[in-house]
């Protein structure tokens, strides 16, 4: 690898935003926000657009010296990807479905065939053609009708996760005139293959709150509202039961679930609640035959599996226990087959699968790597003797296995091919535990290249974290990380509180009034990794996105001296102002996660760590900030304001650059190659900092 030096010398005149004081008063407290003017819901304000373009120009000029490195890294990342690739066909009904990518195509083509060898494959969708000249394109859900003759698909062309649904006749290839606008993207067919259900969004809050019934051949204006959720703290989704007998409305806040169902053979019927809504009761339910399977936290913090029938499902006191609660094991889910169940469990942070046959006999599937990611893959058919699982680790590319449910024997169907010089034996992964300041043991997953690593405190480190919503960031293979590992970096995933790595209590210890634990854990891990010789204390970089961007914002306020460079992506930084404004998309859904600052107690909690509100006159690390102009989850103005205030307050001469993708949303650029440009930018930024 080239060891050239790259210039990141500070330019004299970064963009300076105007200050326009705006008073925000809550609970007798008044805050002055000088950059509130940057919010423009319509995204048409000339001053806002001018400033964003100025920041983009400054970013490119500031990073001009590393342009050759960015190009080199982009070629590296792209060069590891197989240009001609396909998925393993999966059987669903009468057909086998798979997708293919070819050459420099950004998107896949979707096919089906009558046999696994795909000799008579039929093109269903060419996403490259659908994407056309759109700067952003995301294919949402693809749903085949029960009679297997029609296809519904949803698409987002702005990045705001507002989807349009279209329909296609598979025999002729003709498109229906039916178009469903402003949806969540999910499409569920009734069993008559002529009726679909979808969730419509509130275009201001971007919450899905209404379920409509649509009959093919009729205008959307004639669609029938069949369910409306009045509580704006709930997310809404649609699905179908495993046996396809029920259409399911799933409703969930962070702490409460609710499920409504409709007979899929009677689309003109009415939805009814499966069991009474109860605050604090979280559950996930599915059905096969006469049995409902419920993963529930009722009297079970780490969840247990219960069963019920149609006559007992409404009264949880009549449910039967299948798999009991365990204090040290988190039950994450269940996959249902005619003769088997597969339980997904997590103990001490490690995932395992437990196969249970109809006689109650249990077979555990475990894995050898010290840290890894494993998940149940697509298994549309319940009447099978084998199941597909996906496996990956920090040193093992993504692998699809077929597992014999009687013996547990795994057969490798396909492993992600990594082009170039990659050899897994060159790399080593570790799982260590770090003692946090309050005595808790926090898991850390590490990977490095063996011949580039010495545990003598000389290596650079990239530390990643998220820590919110109970989302567990499992250690999985990333071909892009090889560009850092091959240059001597250690890569660490900090499994901080707020995720669910160590069970439900691990999540609860990192939310609401306990949110500071997430930041403490991340900082304490940084200190431990340098103290234990995994990294040089002056060569530590960190990265996070979305809620992980909040993590970055809090960490650089609280311990800026620990970090050389920070990658902060689509970051949630203006927590207090956003959580006080119910007109902002997703705010009301977040109260169970952060607390509702309309309550003075939670106001104080959030105010104490909110990154935007806690910027102060001190030295900050070198920081790269990225966002998407059309982001529907974290609005563009949060990082825009944060950067402006940082420029005003910080006392250092370190790099601060801010890049807005004017065509993208929360997920960044679309397409398998275009998105690599963002990754190459961050990697180049970190490498260049070490050269300065």
Task: Spell out the residues 6+ positions from residue 508 whose beta carbon is closer than 8 angstroms to its own.
Answer: 514
Q: Which of 286, 474, 631, 661 is catalytic?
A: 631
Q: Residue 38 and residue 640: Cα distance in Å, rounded?
A: 7
Q: Residue 687 and residue 461: Cα distance in Å, rounded?
A: 11
Do residues 203 and 162 make contact, with C-beta atoms less than 8 angstroms apart?
Answer: yes
Q: Residue 351 and residue 368: Cα distance in Å, rounded?
A: 11
* Structure token digits, residue 430: 């570790």
185-198 CB burial, b ≥16 within 10 A, e <16: bbbbbbbbebbbbb
Q: Residue 683 and residue 72: Cα distance in Å, rounded?
A: 11
User: Which uninterrupted H or E stretch holds 558?
Assistant: helix 547-558
CA nearest to 394, candidates 427, 438, 421: 427
Whether 169 is catalytic: no
Whether 666 is catalytic: yes
* DSSP type of residue 357: E
CA nearest to 571, candidates 591, 555, 541, 547: 547
* Structure token digits, residue 221: 């204006």
Do residues 577 and 614 make contact, with C-beta atoms less than 8 angstroms apart?
Answer: no
Bridge partners of 126, per DSSP, are: 109
Token pair 């025999």 in the structure block, residue: 171
CA nearest to 536, candidates 453, 444, 460: 460
* Structure token digits, residue 509: 């210890």
Residue 620, CA distances (Å) to 13, 36, 134, 560, 600 in order = 18, 23, 38, 5, 30
3-class secondary structure, 182: strand
Bridge partners of 390, per DSSP, are: 375, 400
Q: Residue 307 and residue 298: Cα distance in Å, rounded?
A: 13
Residue 398 φ/ψ, nearest 5 degrees: -50, 130
Do residues 437 and 524 make contact, with C-beta atoms less than 8 angstroms apart?
Answer: yes
Token pair 């006392």 in the structure block, residue: 651
- HSE (side-chain half, CA atoms, 13 Å) at 367: 25
Angle of CA points 35, 36, 37, to nearest 5°: 90
| Sign of the torsion formed by the C-alpha atoms of 223, 227, 230 and 236 | negative
Bridge partners of 497, per DSSP, are: 499
CA nearest to 505, candidates 256, 304, 330, 282: 330
CA nearest to 55, candidates 660, 621, 663, 684: 660
Q: Residue 272 and residue 257: Cα distance in Å, rounded?
A: 15
Do residues 522 and 551 make contact, with C-beta atoms less than 8 angstroms apart?
Answer: yes
The 3-class secondary structure across 22-52, one letter per residue, is EEEEECCEEEEECCHHHCCCCCCCHHHHHHH
Whether 325 is catalytic: no
Residue 394, CA distances (Å) to 61, 362, 398, 617 in order = 35, 29, 10, 39
Q: Which of 154, 476, 481, 546 is catalytic?
A: 546
* Structure token digits, residue 66: 């590393």
Give me the active site residues, please.
Answer: 546, 631, 666
């Amino acid at each position: 690898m080239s060891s050239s030096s790259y210039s990141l010398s500070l330019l004299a005149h970064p963009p300076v935003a105007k200050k326009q004081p705006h008073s925000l008063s809550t609970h007798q407290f008044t805050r002055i926000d000088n950059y509130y003017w940057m919010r423009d819901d319509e995204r048409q304000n000339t001053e806002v657009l001018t400033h964003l373009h100025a920041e983009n120009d400054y970013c490119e000029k500031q990073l001009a010296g590393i342009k050759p490195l960015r190009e080199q890294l982009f070629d590296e990342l792209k060069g590891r990807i197989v240009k001609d690739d396909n998925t393993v066909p999966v059987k669903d009904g009468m057909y086998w479905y798979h997708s293919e990518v070819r050459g420099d195509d950004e998107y896949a083509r979707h096919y089906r065939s009558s046999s696994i060898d795909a000799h008579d494959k039929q093109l269903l969708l060419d996403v490259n053609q659908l994407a056309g000249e759109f700067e952003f394109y995301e294919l949402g859900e693809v749903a085949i009708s029960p009679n297997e003759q029609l296809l519904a698909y949803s698409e987002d062309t702005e990045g705001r996760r507002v989807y349009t649904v279209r329909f296609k006749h598979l025999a002729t290839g003709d498109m229906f005139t039916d178009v469903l606008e402003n949806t969540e993207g999910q499409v569920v067919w009734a069993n008559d293959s002529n009726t679909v259900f979808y969730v419509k969004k509130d275009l201001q809050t971007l919450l899905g709150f209404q379920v409509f019934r649509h009959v093919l051949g009729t205008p959307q204006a004639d669609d029938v509202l069949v369910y409306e959720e009045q509580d704006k703290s709930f997310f809404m989704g649609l699905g179908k039961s495993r046996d396809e007998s029920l259409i399911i409305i799933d409703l969930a806040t962070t702490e409460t679930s609710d499920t409504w169902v409709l007979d899929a053979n009677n689309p003109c019927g009415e939805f009814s609640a499966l069991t009474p809504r109860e605050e604090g009761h979280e559950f996930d339910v599915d059905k096969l035959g006469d049995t409902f399977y419920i993963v529930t936290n009722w009297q079970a913090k780490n969840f247990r599996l219960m069963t019920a029938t149609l006559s007992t499902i409404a009264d949880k006191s009549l449910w039967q226990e299948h798999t009991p609660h365990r204090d040290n094991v988190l039950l994450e889910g269940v996959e249902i087959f005619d003769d088997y169940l597969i339980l997904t469990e997590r103990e001490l942070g490690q995932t395992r699968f437990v196969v249970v046959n109809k006689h109650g006999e249990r077979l555990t599937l475990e894995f050898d790597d010290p840290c890894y990611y494993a998940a149940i893959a697509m298994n549309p058919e319940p009447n099978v003797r084998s199941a597909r699982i996906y496996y990956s680790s920090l040193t093992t590319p993504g692998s699809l296995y077929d597992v014999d449910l009687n013996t547990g024997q795994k057969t490798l169907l396909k492993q992600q091919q990594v082009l170039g010089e990659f050899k897994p034996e060159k790399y080593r992964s570790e799982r260590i535990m770090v003692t946090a300041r309050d005595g808790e043991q926090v898991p850390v997953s590490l990977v490095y290249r063996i011949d580039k690593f010495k545990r003598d405190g000389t290596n650079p480190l990239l530390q990643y974290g998220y820590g919110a919503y109970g989302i567990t960031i499992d250690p999985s293979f990333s071909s892009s990380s090889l560009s850092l590992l091959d240059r001597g970096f250690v890569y660490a995933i900090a499994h901080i509180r707020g995720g669910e790595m160590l069970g439900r209590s691990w999540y609860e210890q990192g939310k609401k009034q306990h949110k500071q634990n997430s930041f403490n854990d991340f900082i304490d891990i940084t200190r431990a990794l340098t103290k234990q010789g995994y990294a040089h204390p002056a060569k530590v970089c960190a990265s996070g996105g979305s809620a992980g961007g909040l993590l970055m914002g809090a960490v650089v306020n609280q311990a800026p001296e620990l970090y050389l460079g920070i990658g902060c992506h689509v970051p949630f930084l203006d927590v207090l102002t956003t959580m006080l404004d119910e007109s902002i998309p997703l705010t009301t859904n977040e109260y169970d996660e952060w607390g509702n600052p309309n309550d003075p107690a939670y106001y104080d909690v959030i105010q104490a760590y909110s990154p935007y509100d806690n910027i102060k006159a001190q030295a900050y690390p070198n920081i790269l900030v990225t966002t998407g102009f059309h982001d529907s989850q974290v609005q563009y103005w949060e990082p825009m304001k944060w950067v402006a205030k940082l420029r005003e307050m910080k006392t250092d001469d370190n790099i601060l650059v801010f890049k807005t993708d004017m065509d993208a949303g929360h997920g960044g650029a679309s397409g398998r190659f275009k998105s690599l440009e963002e990754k190459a930018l961050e990697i180049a930024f970190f490498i260049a900092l070490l050269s300065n």
